[in-house]
Amino acid sequence: MSVWRVKSITASAQVHDGPCWVLGIHQEGTNDAATVSLANQATSGGTRVMGAAAANGGTDNVFPGAPTEFGTACYATLTGTTPQTEIWWRPKPG
């Protein structure tokens, strides 16, 4: 079994290019309000699976209690000016 990893991003980016689980999200609005939306795909767009939103200077933590499965891949779309986002994830064993 693989260990949990943390991906820190400040702009929209791929979290993982294959099936994975996401344990949770930490979102900070550093210069204005900020959001992150995670989709079950390798590129931008798509349907939101889970996300978080933080006010300017605020934080939001989303840990649903059990890992959320992303069967294809995981892509994070961020809004805001230089938001700070950490995503706890791990790949699904093949």
Q: What is the pLDDT of residues 4-34, one digit of tens each?
A: 999 999 999 999 999 999 999 999 998 899 9
Q: What is the pLDDT of residue 56?
A: 93
Q: pLDDT tens, 39-64?
A: 999 999 888 999 999 999 999 999 99
Task: For CA atoms 7, 46, 11, 54, give the dihedral sign.
Answer: negative
pLDDT number for residue 93: 87
Of the candidates 65, 10, 12, which has an alpha carbon nearest to the alpha carbon of residue 37? Answer: 12
Could you give the CA distance from residue 9 to residue 27 in angstroms, rounded to a whole number? 10
What pLDDT, on a 0 to 100 scale, did the predictor assign at position 82?
A: 87
Q: Would you kindly state where each structural domain of the chain is located, as residue ranges?
A: 5-91
Give 64-89 pLDDT, tens digit per residue. 989 999 999 999 999 998 899 999 99
Question: Class for domain 5-91, per CATH?
Answer: mainly beta
